[in-house]
Amino acid sequence: MYNNNHRQRGFSMKKNAFVTGADRGLGYSLTEVLLENDYRVFAGRYMKDWPWLDRLKEKHGDDLYLVDLDISDTASVKRAAESIKIETDSLDLLINNAAIVGPEENNLAIFEDVDIDKILRVYNVNTLGALRVTHALIDLVLNSRDKLIVNISSEAGSIARCWRTGEYGYCMSKAALNMQSAILHNSIREKGGQVLVVHPGWMQTYMQGVRNDKADFPPEKSASDIYKLIQRKDEFKGDKPVFIDHLGNLWPW
């Protein structure tokens, strides 16, 4: 049950959000748009030498709390959760955004050398990373007003609309994230919880280490669209979770 006396440790009573993979790209843009809309944001940071979050901290002060986080490492996730729980006992919004593409794979990869260890790395981050974070913070989510988890998936995770002949690691990891999201939604629905699974579109981000300027639009556009979906979350409530793109269009699982 939501505790109206939940801790804010000297902060004004704002909604709390946690965004993983907030260093740059979509995670950074989501952090920025939430701050601009009066959220207090806990931002998961993987790259300490990347300066964007530090600059954002200078602008927003105590409304932004930087959390060192490697979602592929259970100990790191536990430390991050402990640091958040010192500051608050509720999270209205958890966005599992952090993900990697992994090595580029030839479309005929099954006929060539398939590096299983590299694929396991992608799966460990994209699928198990979100599970680690959710498990560590589910009590805070369910103790909030909104009780919302947003898992950033991909069109690559849609089995019904699969067109690829390669990229096994990334596609399989996102399909598994979709299943995880469905199970999670079933687990928390009766407690008032909700899961949204979102394909953010093809963005100009750093998924492979350098900015992909050939993509359709910048991450700021997707972040703005996803924030609008969060505001419409009650429209998507139901017995089953929904898999939608950043514009709110339904996608097949």
Q: Which residues contact 4 (CB under 8 A, 6 or more apart)?
A: none
The confidence score (pLDDT) of residue 13 equals 81
Give the pLDDT band (50/70/90) at residue 209. low
SS3 for 195? strand
Give the pLDDT band (50/70/90) at residue 214. confident
Give the pLDDT band (50/70/90) at residue 115. confident
The confidence score (pLDDT) of residue 30 equals 98
The confidence score (pLDDT) of residue 103 equals 60
Mean pLDDT of 219-235: 97
**Is residue 5 over pLDDT 80?**
no
DSSP bridge partners of 45: 68
The confidence score (pLDDT) of residue 1 equals 47
Domains of the chain by start residue, with CATH: 15-245 (3.40.50.720)
DSSP string computed for 200-243 = --SBS--TTSS--TTSSB-HHHHHHHHHHHHHTGGGG-SSS-EE
The amino acid that residue 117 corresponds to is: D
